[in-house]
Amino acid sequence: MGASAKTQKRIESLRDEIRYHNHRYHTLDDIEIPDAEYDRLMRELQGLEKEFPELVTADSPTQRVGAEPSETLQTVRHQLPMLSLDNVFAEEELREFHQRVAEKLEFEDGAADLRYAAEPKLDGAAISLLYEDGVLLRAATRGDGATGEDITHNARTIDSIPLRLIGNGYPKTLEVRGEVFMPRAGFEAYNKKARAAGEKTFVNPRNAAAGSLRQLDPKLTAERPLDMYVYSVGLVEHGELPEQHSEIIEQLQAWGLKTCPERRVVTGVEGCLAYYEAIGKKRDALAYDIDGVVYKVDSLAMQRELGFVARAPRWAVAHKFPAQEELTTVVDVEFQVGRTGAVTPVARLDPVFVGGVTVSNATLHNIDELHRKDVRVGDTVIVRRAGDVIPEVVSVVTSRRPTKTTRVQLPERCPVCDSHVMREQGEAVARCTGGLFCKAQRSEALKHFVSRKAMDIEGLGAKLIEQFVEEDRFQNPSNIFELTNEELAKRERMGEKSAENLVKAIDASKATSLSRFLYALGIREVGEATAQNLATYFGSLPAILTATAEDLVKVPDVGPVVAKRIRDFLNEGHNLEVIQQLQDHGVHWADTDPMQIAEDGPLTGKTFVITGTLPGMTRDEAKALIQREGGKVTGSISKKTSYLLAGEKAGSKLAKAQQLAVEVLDLNSLIALLK
């Protein structure tokens, strides 16, 4: 049966749409839709063309995979084509892949001992580097696998690409292949700068890497924080390489090329799956974006036996993670009011499965962001959910904007209490001026007050707090300590047992620490770390209440802004009243001696960040030690950080420190510094 007119039209429209996105991706470096959506369009077209082969045309996008070479860069023909990689998404598909490999190689018993080289699948741009007598002769993009573009001038600006190999024994002609990528920290920093300068930002690190490589002016590329890991070899002449893929990569590393430190040799499909899971857990802590892992049969003899199908090797496969970006539509934009009165736009979305969960709300951060991205009700948008972070709207797909959309404006009045919404000069955040009169702020303030790192009152959930606030039973946190068994047990859906447990939890929370108490008050900019520093420095509440701004800035980690926030808070009579009421209700802690800080200690002027598990010392103890000797301890790494003190299981902070070339110390080297 021939294709209907409707099918023919669908095929045409798919082709047009794919061509449009190819152009945006390869020529404009300005992608509009997530990969997952592009893949769906392509698969739909491929499916239809398979069903109706008579409709396949030579110019269909399915007939040429990869880049249109640009008119500006020289094209290069790869002497050996750069293959593509097949994908699997589910465990079952991976088992089928392994099964095929095992059968073809005539393995028995499930081929549990078949060795694979496993590594993360970097989300960057594939390139080829050609070394002649150990000297970098030419770098080229992968392009469509057969021809790419000459980007030698740009590759030379990337620090991790050696211009000359080190050591000896390399083949006279050696082509290596790998992925150029932009580490996340560099990507964020780059976009922040571009945004401030009103320049174009990148949608994601992969796009940033690909776009940077194709610059005509290498000075521009040199400014981009690019990195490269090599993952295979291409042309090899006049020289020998080992017979295992993993050994080849080791050898490349010894010649000065950078390889991924996460790579491992695993055995059997179970080894692959365990690796997939381990890398999946580590994904957010890595310094760079990955979109899956790659398994390659380690033995080159076996690779030769397996050969290729079409353009992909039969001996390798990419095992993809769930997509972190998807498309959906904005049903509405609402404004939420937080604990500090910050009025934040939130997009209500058509529910979409992204990053492993169904998402129906995404933050738009603040009104400037919303306007910069020009998000309107009715728009199709890219939502991103990476790791445990709050889902966010990345960008609008303007080509899919309906004719009727509604623009969003900052409300003049608070959606909760109707007070005026104000925005301070130069501040991105708009705030409700209602203070604790605003029930949203009161609820959020109370939720913060009872949270685990604050007063830690288990069982006083968000719903219950909201109800009590709504009824004006909770005017301020001290009302929590007035709750009785009788009053609680009367409430709907609250049994006697849970009422009793809650009263017990409230009672137990009264014995707290000064730092928890300070943190629980919810003073703006006073997070856990600052609260701890204040408590350690002053030792008692009266000392803090009477401290001037000049006194406060002497506290590690407290600058003029934070000092002012604290003073502002304590200058409000009603805040002092609440503090008194809480103590009257029995909230108490043990005072400590004020801290003696070395004015001119061995660590004066040095800023530390602490991460991981230290041997025989808690992080708080390490912090106190550093502070006593004049050093400062902060929570996040920046270029200004002097040292990262890292223990066991250091995660993303370690990666970031390496990224920013911040010196990393273990506890022993810290102690050596003190001597």
Q: What are the residue numbers of the active site?
A: 121
Q: What is the 3-state secondary structure (H, E, C) of 481-550?
A: HHCCHHHHHCCCCCCHHHHHHHHHHHHHHCECCHHHHHHHCCCCCCCHHHHHHHHHHHCCHHHHHCCCHH
Count CA within 13 A, CB hemisphere, residue 115. Answer: 13
Three-state secondary structure call for residue 390? coil
Instruction: Compare residues 65 and 576 and give the one whose CB is closer to ligand D41.
Output: 65
Nearest approach in angstroms of CB 122 to ligand D41 is: 4
Nearest approach in angstroms of CB 119 to ligand D41 is: 5
Give strand ranges (E) for 50-112: 75-77, 87-88
Nearest approach in angstroms of CB 59 to ligand D41 is: 23
Instruction: Please name the residues in contact with 469: beta carbons below 8 A apart, sequence gap of 6 or more.
Output: 439, 442, 443, 446
Give burial (CB, 10 Å; 0-12/13-18/19+) of 410: middle
Instruction: Compare residues 300 and 422 and give the one whose CB is closer to ligand D41.
Output: 300
Count of Cβ atoms closer than 10 Å to residue 273 Cβ: 16
Instruction: Compare residues 316 and 644 and give the one whose CB is closer to ligand D41.
Output: 316
Instruction: Compare residues 119 and 325 and give the one whose CB is closer to ligand D41.
Output: 119
Q: What is the widest separation between alpha-carbon atoms in the chain?
A: 88
Alpha carbon distance 66, 199 (integer Å): 28
Instruction: Compare residues 249 and 558 and give the one whose CB is closer to ligand D41.
Output: 249
Three-state secondary structure call for residue 589? coil
Alpha carbon distance 488, 640 (integer Å): 51
DSSP line for 551-573: HHTTSTT--HHHHHHHHHHHHSH
Nearest approach in angstroms of CB 170 to ligand D41 is: 19
Nearest approach in angstroms of CB 69 to ligand D41 is: 17
Nearest approach in angstroms of CB 208 to ligand D41 is: 15
DSSP line for 165-230: --SS---SEEEEEEEEE--HHHHHHHHHHHHHTTPPPPSSHHHHHHHHHT-SSHHHHHTS--EEEE
Alpha carbon distance 230, 253 (integer Å): 9
Instruction: Compare residues 121 and 656 and give the one whose CB is closer to ligand D41.
Output: 121
| List of residues contacting ligand D41 (CB under 6 A) | 83-85, 119, 121-122, 126, 142, 179, 231-232, 294, 296, 313, 316
Nearest approach in angstroms of CB 585 to ligand D41 is: 58
Alpha carbon distance 269, 262 (integer Å): 18
Nearest approach in angstroms of CB 133 to ligand D41 is: 24
Nearest approach in angstroms of CB 86 to ligand D41 is: 9
- Tokens 């398979």 map to which residue? 50
- Please give the C-alpha separations between residue 613 and each of 42, 329, 516, 633, 661, in angstroms, as whole numbers: 47, 43, 22, 16, 21
Instruction: Compare residues 284 and 620 and give the one whose CB is closer to ligand D41.
Output: 284
Nearest approach in angstroms of CB 116 to ligand D41 is: 11
Instruction: Compare residues 253 and 467 and give the one whose CB is closer to ligand D41.
Output: 253
Which residue type, as a one-letter code, is found at position 373?
K
Instruction: Compare residues 121 and 373 and give the one whose CB is closer to ligand D41.
Output: 121
Helix, strand, coil percentages in the chain from 3-state DSSP, rounded to 5? 40, 20, 40
Instruction: Compare residues 179 and 444 and give the one whose CB is closer to ligand D41.
Output: 179
CB 122 within 8 A of CB 288: yes
Nearest approach in angstroms of CB 231 to ligand D41 is: 4
Q: Which helix (H) or strand (E) holds 432?
A: strand 430-432
Instruction: Compare residues 122 and 502 and give the one whose CB is closer to ligand D41.
Output: 122
CB 406 within 8 A of CB 378: yes
Please name every residue paired with 634 in a beta bridge, in sequence order, or none if there are none. 609
Please name every residue paired with 75 in a beta bridge, in sequence order, or none if there are none. 149
Closest CA to 641 of 621, 664, 672, 625: 664
Alpha carbon distance 115, 263 (integer Å): 13
CB 330 within 8 A of CB 381: yes
Alpha carbon 189 to its chain centroid, in Å, reads 13
